[in-house]
Structure 1
Amino acid sequence: MKRSDRRNRAGFFAAAAVASLAGLIGLGGAEFRLPILKALFRLPSLKAVIFNKATSLVVVFFALFFRMHEISFGMLADHTSIILNLLGGSLIGAWVSAGIAMRISEQTLDAVIMVLLLAMAAVLLLDQTSFMQREELFFETLWARTLAGVTAGFFIGMVAAVLGVAGGELLIPTIVLLYGVDIKLAGSLSLAVSLPTMLVGFFRYSRGAAFEVLSQERGLLISMVVGSIVGAGIGALLLGVVPAGLLTVGLSLLLILSAIKIFRHKTA
């Protein structure tokens, strides 16, 4: 078997495993896929982010499509104001953040990625607390919710662009707490916000030399996209079999360890 074939096969199974576990707690798994791209496939950080974003784009599109039987396009259209409110900040955040990521050094980018991955792990752990289960809205007035939505969207867009993720861990609780919608609807709304946000970041990255990783690693990209889609389906089928709370804590701790080990730089 050729080395490239072994690599592509490893990419398929790694992506499928990550998507299966992440799917059990309602995530796409991009934040867990990034350390794998860096450690297992030895991609430089910026190329790993771009590769991760390309994979995430396809996964998010299919996830939004597959959820249409439960959350219809009409239901999303009824909440267009929420989508536009968050997009008002996230599109700008993604554009700005991607531009910065292409200009800073590899070492600095690694440090930023490590901090963001640790923050994502903290959000996952926080999701298990009563704070994320509160029913009352953070802001009662429309102008306050609008301002908060644009601000939150901006920072979520920045995180999504730097990590190449959809940002559902941040978007879903933001939508629930700011707008008081059902958690399932919030999941689909987050995908509707993520797709154009990721496209903006993707377009911004396409202007840099590191974008060539998509042609250089075409076989691996296809393998990981297919593996992610298959794994997401497996995770959906196994939903409820494994305690989601326990799995969330375990994956969060794993994300913390991998972030520190892979993205920190030792100083002489």
Structure 2
Amino acid sequence: MAWRMIRHRNSGAFFSSSLIGSLGGLIGLGGAEFRLPVLVGAFGVPTLEAVILNKAISLVVVSSAMLFRSHAIQFSTLWSASAVVFNLLAGSLIGAWWAAGYMQRLSARWLNRIILLLLLTLAVLMLSEAFFPLRTVGQPLLDNPWLLRLAGVVAGLGIGAVAAVLGVAGGELLIPTGVLLFGLDIKLAGSVSLAVSLPTMIVGFLRYRQASAFTVLSQERGLLWAMVVGSIAGSALGSQILGIVPAHALMIGLGGILLLSAYKVFSHAH
């Protein structure tokens, strides 16, 4: 009976992570903001442990999505935006290191409140992107290159901190930053998002190794591997339909789901 329950749980983990992982290949998101409510609400993983588990899975999604998306956004094209990648990384690595250390000192109640607020903010941001057009491609927000670099570092600090707190890749913030602040094409901004997310998440992940909750990776090994395999399959599928699914329609659906799931799970979490 116990074995059957474990198999059912892992099957659910594989299916849900496949759907969420497809966002990595399709949009350039790690999908972790959707995975976090699933881990806490559906699988009963405590919040801090869920964040650490979420970050480990997000690393797989981002790595595989970068590889699978290379047929549409080649690495040579991504390299042309390397200045933007390094600009954002200058802030995001510091933000991720600080936030991951600070989170370990928070009580579960305050951690849930902060995560609820961040998830609701991300949901509103997604819905805003769907209904309001982004800035003209190729036109940076600031004409002064030094002010533009400074704005990139500041944006990176905030994005890195959010990524560490939620265990997310940060694409919901990185993609609009790439388009609005630096004037990138939205598909290229998705790949830039993945390139910034990967080292940022590694820094936050290494920081969490000091926490006792890090043992969740061995305690939930079956759940972890089911979601890892599902995430790889999903990111491969998402990359194949890149450009087919209308981005604004997807953003509306995802924003609504995130708004509902975040409120339902974290507003009632103890």
With the length of structure 2 as denominator, give the TM-score of the two structures: 0.91
For each residue in 1:160-198, what CA deviation from the matched residue of structure 2 results, as whole angstroms up to 9, or x when unmatched? Answer: 111111111111111122222222222111111111000
Map 1:5-44; keep pairs closer than 5 Å.
Answer: 5-20=7-22, 25-44=27-46
- Partner of 1:256 in structure 2? 259
Alignment pair present for 1:117 and 2:150:
no
Structure 1 CA distance for aligned equivalents of residues 204 and 89 of structure 2: 13
- Partner of 1:62 in structure 2? 64
Equivalent position SS for 2:104: helix
Structure 2 CA distance for aligned equivalents of residues 97 and 138 of structure 1: 27
Map 1:38-187; keep pairs closer than 5 Å.
Answer: 38-135=40-137, 136-187=139-190
With the length of structure 1 as denominator, give the TM-score of the two structures: 0.92
Equivalent position SS for 2:84: helix
Alignment pair present for 1:223 and 2:229:
no
Structure 1 CA distance for aligned equivalents of residues 42 and 83 of structure 2: 42
The change in CA–CA distance for 1:183 and 1:248 in structure 2 (over 3 A counts) is closer
Amino acid of the residue matched to residue 99 of structure 2? S
Q: Which segment drifts farther, 132-141 or 5-14?
A: 132-141
Gaps (5+ residues) in structure 1?
A: none
Contact 2:92/2:153 (CA < 8 Å) preserved in 1? yes
- Partner of 1:232 in structure 2? 235
For each residue in 1:32-81, what CA deviation from the matched residue of structure 2 results, as whole angstroms up to 9, or x when unmatched? Answer: 11100001110110000000000000110111112223333333333322
Q: How many corresponding residue pairs?
A: 267
Equivalent position SS for 1:201: helix
Contact 1:126/1:132 (CA < 8 Å) preserved in 2? no
Contact 2:96/2:203 (CA < 8 Å) preserved in 1? yes
- Identity across matched positions, percent: 55
Structure 2 CA distance for aligned equivalents of residues 154 and 252 of structure 1: 24
Amino acid of the residue matched to residue 100 of structure 1? Y
Superposition RMSD in Å: 2.1
Equivalent position SS for 1:128: helix
